[in-house]
A and B are shown apart, each in its own frame.
Chain A
Amino acid sequence: MRVDDWLRNACEDADRRGLPELKPLLEALARSTANLRRADEQLRTAREPGSRE
């Protein structure tokens, strides 16, 4: 799931559960997740330098 889609779904669920104050935290978490995925991609590239295409 893309981070943007995850964030939209999570915020909708937080609203549904009556926790709108969770949304700024989820937005910060989404930025962190994007950082994490970039680092993971770099790690994979370092380990698997070849292309699958």
Chain B
Amino acid sequence: MPAADLRSIAELGPRIATGEVSPVALVEGCLARIEARRELNAFITVLAMSAFAEARQAAIDIARGHHRGPLHGIPISIKDLIDVAGTPTTAASAVPALHPEVDAPIVRRLREAGAVLIGKTNLHEFAFGTTTEETAFGMVRNPFDASRSAGGSSSGAAVALVEGMCFGSIGTDTGGSIRIPSAACGIVGLKPAYAELPCEGIVPLSTTCDHVGPMTRTVTDARLMFEALAGERVATRSLPGTFTFGVPSGYLIDRLDREIRNGFTRVREALEARGHTVRDVVIEDAAITPDVYLHIVLPEAAQYHARLLEAHAAAYSPGVRLRLEMGRYLLAEDYVRAMQLRAMLTAQVDAALDACDALLLPALAIAAPPLGQTTVEIDGTPEPVRGVMLRLTQLFNLTGHPAIAIPSGRTSSGLPVGMQLVGRHGGTARLLSIAESVESQIAGGAGSVGGGTG
């Protein structure tokens, strides 16, 4: 079956349930597409043998009438800092890998839902970067232009989805690591609310900012995966037909690449044309976000890595090592200051959401940058790539609000562009319903990317 015919979990699930589509055939197709585009470095470990065994078992169970739900028999990939029993957890580093004997809870839930684990995807080393240039397993390349980054840190997952190497993926997001590669590659990425899905069995970057969530080709698929992972059914019937969206003025919108800005204006106009209300909202101190973020993430990352840095410093990529070393110098009093400012930012985002159903903003201020490039020019001013890529996402890791990236079009050179919706605390299910409702009303549309670029 051509990759282009294999788009969504929602389309495949019912066909698997009736026996029309074979999980074994899906695994065969995924493995063929992994092999066909190895140069993109999407995977670190391919679990071919166990995937075939799981797919065969799924087919047997379904034939016997034991269909477990929409993920049963669906090939799913796992970011390689999440424990899968019997498989090394490398975190894309040359630092000695973990060898877990039990699955992370998030993986256990996938197995309970009947998913087939197809492999473990590449990432920016220890999830500490946004470009995936620093990895011991080859830079992850953007499927739309192999000279460009696929974002990060969950870039292998995004590439695997674009190329039909899997049908869903599990990523992690500490400053935007689900939403940034989703925007750079044109897929859907959900960062649920903080602690909504379990992070045990996942190599931490920052324990108070880490989130785990699904990456998919459509919002409906993200909903199906979230429901399976959270054990929560997302009700859609009670929603109104139109919504009020809040666009944060100032810091979160004032430094965008021209094409991103124009694309976002088109999204805004498209939503207004469909009867939605789009109004400006204020998050007064959003500009302090990167400073607060640094003073929380750096020491929390250093706490986990201190022992590894003492034993294996030379095994880290130089840039990752230096960023981790920085965290060892921060003062406790500044960490506490950052935590107090974080509470202030959370209250400000809560207040902004009081006036609307969801915040609306781009997911990434630039299109995928060229690999090796450390600065980009925005409005004639050079900006560091790392800071620009984190700018629109990291606030919601500090505040813990659920956020989703959705494809919203392409640049003039054909690179994907993504928008972001942010929901209220406790409102991930509602956010998914809103996103599902508007997905077809913006330039990208459901499944606009995925199923192979070739």
A11-B312 Cα distance, complex, nearest whole Å:
22
Partner of A36, one of B291, B322, B326: B291
The 8 A CB mask of B311-337 against A (1 = contact, 0 = none) is: 000000010001101100111001001
A6-B1 Cα distance, complex, nearest whole Å:
62
B288 within 8 A of A: yes
Partner of A26, one of B291, B326, B337, B344: B326
A45 within 8 A of B: no
B404 within 8 A of A: no
Q: How large is the interface on A (under 10, 10 to 19, 20 to 34, 35 or more residues)?
A: 10 to 19
Q: Mostly helix, strand, loop or mixed at chain A's interface?
A: helix
A21 within 8 A of B: yes
Interface pair A36/B325, CB less than 8 Å apart: no
Partner of A22, one of B322, B337, B341: B322
Interface pair B295/A32, CB less than 8 Å apart: yes
CB-CB < 8 A to A33: which residues of B? 291, 295, 330, 334
Shortest Cβ gap from B374 to chain A (Å) = 13
B282 within 8 A of A: no
CB-CB < 8 A to B14: which residues of A? none
A1-B323 Cα distance, complex, nearest whole Å:
22
The 8 A CB mask of A3-22 against B (1 = contact, 0 = none) is: 00010001001100001011
Interface pair A36/B329, CB less than 8 Å apart: no
Q: Mostly helix, strand, loop or mixed at chain B's interface?
A: helix
B21 within 8 A of A: no
Partner of A29, one of B285, B294, B344: B294
B290 within 8 A of A: yes
CB-CB < 8 A to B295: which residues of A? 32-33, 36
Interface pair B331/A39, CB less than 8 Å apart: no
Interface pair A36/B331, CB less than 8 Å apart: no
A13-B325 Cα distance, complex, nearest whole Å:
11
Interface pair A22/B326, CB less than 8 Å apart: yes
A40-B326 Cα distance, complex, nearest whole Å:
21
B340 within 8 A of A: yes
CB-CB < 8 A to B294: which residues of A? 29, 32
Known: A1-B331, A10-B329, A43-B341. A36 touches B323 (CB 8 A): no
A39-B323 Cα distance, complex, nearest whole Å:
23
Known: A10-B329, A26-B326, A43-B344. 6 other contacts (CB 8 A): A22-B322, A29-B326, A32-B291, A32-B294, A39-B288, A40-B337
> Can you list 26 contacts pairing A with B, beta carbon distance less than 8 Å?
A6-B329, A6-B331, A10-B329, A19-B325, A22-B326, A25-B323, A25-B326, A26-B329, A29-B294, A29-B326, A29-B330, A32-B290, A32-B291, A32-B294, A32-B295, A33-B291, A33-B295, A35-B288, A35-B291, A36-B291, A36-B292, A36-B341, A37-B337, A39-B288, A39-B341, A40-B340
* List of 10 A-B pairs having minimum Cβ-Cβ separation, nearest first: A40-B337, A10-B329, A36-B291, A35-B291, A39-B288, A32-B291, A32-B294, A25-B326, A22-B322, A22-B325
* Residues of B that sit less than 8 Å from A by CB: 285, 288, 290-292, 294-295, 298, 318, 322-323, 325-326, 329-331, 334, 337-338, 340-341, 344
